[in-house]
């Protein structure tokens, strides 16, 4: 089974507006229309069996509504699994995380940059601690963000400090452990038990036609660089993710298929690891 652990969709009535805003902010293009139907068409084209949708609460008032919607969506859809959301300013996080678990949601997505809080700040540490108690998966945007140049709220060292405080729990540092912080990731995190995902980290950024990029800034991890992460973390701790609609699922899958991995390790990265994590 091939599982994309990191995707995003938006309600049909607002998807076009959200994509336009984020595309202009990031100066890059989207590869779907941002809707659930668009994601499923992409999955069919790429040969992906299941995608995980990661909603982001940009303020504390959205948390309960997002979690209710995720739970309702999971009752209707088999090939797409919605996670819950949490915000560091949500004061009743203890009860809400318990409710997330009761609703059957597998985990939560947090985005320290959008949520303007460092991952190792007490507001997040208490959320991580409660999520660990409940066995929830936590997927965090790590490193820089293409739309917020120079801002880091979840660096590899910040993650290390958080993990050292909380202990062993189901934590996924997205974007290969820290987008554009990649040189720091193996030395800071390889000896922990966290997972990293491949979302929006491989190949090349596809820019909008109405802006200027330096060619070197369009490059992300190539095959040789990626294999250094495999050597450092092992294939068992790397999860296939695309950040769809911001990467093409088909191209992201081809990148993994083209790496000099044995069949067992390739299978683990493309879905086996995620399948085990989601089943725990």
280 pLDDT tier (thresholds 50, 70, 90): confident
> Which residue range forms the structural domain that includes residue 164?
3-279
**CA-based nearest residue to 251, from 202, 211, 210:** 202
Q: How many domains does the chain have?
A: 1
d(CA 100, CA 141): 20
Q: Which two tokens stand for residue 117?
A: 């809080």
Could you tell me what percent of the chain has a pLDDT over 70?
A: 100
Which residues in 118-155 are b (16+ Cβ under 10 Å) and which e?
bbbeebbbebbbbbbebebbbbbbbbbbbbeeeebbbb
Q: What are phi and psi of 50, to 5 degrees?
A: -150, 140
Instruction: Kindly state the helix (H) or strand (E) to which residue 230 belongs, with its residue range.
Output: helix 223-233
CB 130 within 8 A of CB 91: no
Could you tell me what percent of the chain has a pLDDT over 90?
A: 99
Instruction: Give me the CATH number covering residue 175.
Output: 3.20.20.140
Mean pLDDT (whole number) for 219-242: 98
Instruction: Kindly state the helix (H) or strand (E) to which residue 52 belongs, with its residue range.
Output: strand 50-53
Q: Which two tokens stand for residue 40?
A: 């499923």
Q: What is the pLDDT of residues 29-58, one digit of tens each?
A: 999 999 999 999 999 999 999 999 999 999
Q: What are phi and psi of 79, to 5 degrees?
A: -90, -5
pLDDT at residue 180, rounded to an integer: 98
Q: What is the pLDDT of residues 52-90, one digit of tens each?
A: 999 999 999 999 999 999 999 999 999 999 999 999 999
**CA-based nearest residue to 143, from 176, 171, 187, 116:** 176
Return the SS3 of 144. coil
CB 143 within 8 A of CB 108: no
pLDDT at 244 over 90: yes
Tell me what the pLDDT averaged over the chain comes to. 97
Mean pLDDT (whole number) for 186-204: 97
């Amino acid at each position: 089974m091939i599982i994309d652990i990191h995707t995003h969709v938006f309600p049909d009535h607002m998807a076009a507006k959200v994509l336009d805003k984020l595309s202009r902010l990031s100066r890059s293009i989207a590869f779907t229309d941002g809707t659930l139907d668009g994601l499923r068409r992409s999955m069919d084209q790429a040969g992906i069996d299941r995608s995980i949708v990661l909603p982001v609460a940009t303020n504390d008032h959205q948390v309960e509504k997002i979690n209710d919607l995720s739970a309702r969506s999971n009752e209707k859809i088999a090939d797409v699994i919605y996670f819950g959301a949490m915000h560091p300013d949500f004061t009743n996080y203890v009860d809400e995380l318990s409710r997330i678990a009761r609703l059957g949601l597998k985990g939560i997505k947090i985005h320290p940059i959008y949520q303007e809080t460092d991952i190792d700040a007490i507001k997040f540490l208490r959320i991580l601690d409660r999520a660990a108690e409940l066995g929830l998966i936590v997927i965090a945007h790590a490193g820089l963000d293409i739309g917020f140049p120079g801002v880091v709220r979840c660096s590899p060292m910040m993650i290390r400090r958080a993990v050292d405080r909380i202990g062993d729990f189901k934590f996924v540092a997205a974007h290969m452990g820290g987008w554009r912080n990649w040189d720091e990731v193996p030395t800071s995190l390889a000896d922990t038990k966290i997972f990293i995902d491949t979302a929006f980290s491989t190949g090349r950024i596809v820019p909008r036609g109405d802006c200027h990029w330096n060619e070197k800034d369009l490059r992300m991890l190539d095959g040789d660089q990626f294999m250094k992460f495999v050597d450092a973390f092992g294939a068992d701790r790397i999860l296939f993710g695309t950040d769809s609609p911001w990467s093409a699922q088909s191209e992201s899958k081809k990148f993994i298929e083209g790496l000099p991995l044995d069949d067992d390790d390739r299978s683990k990265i493309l879905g086996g690891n995620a399948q085990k994590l989601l089943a725990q």
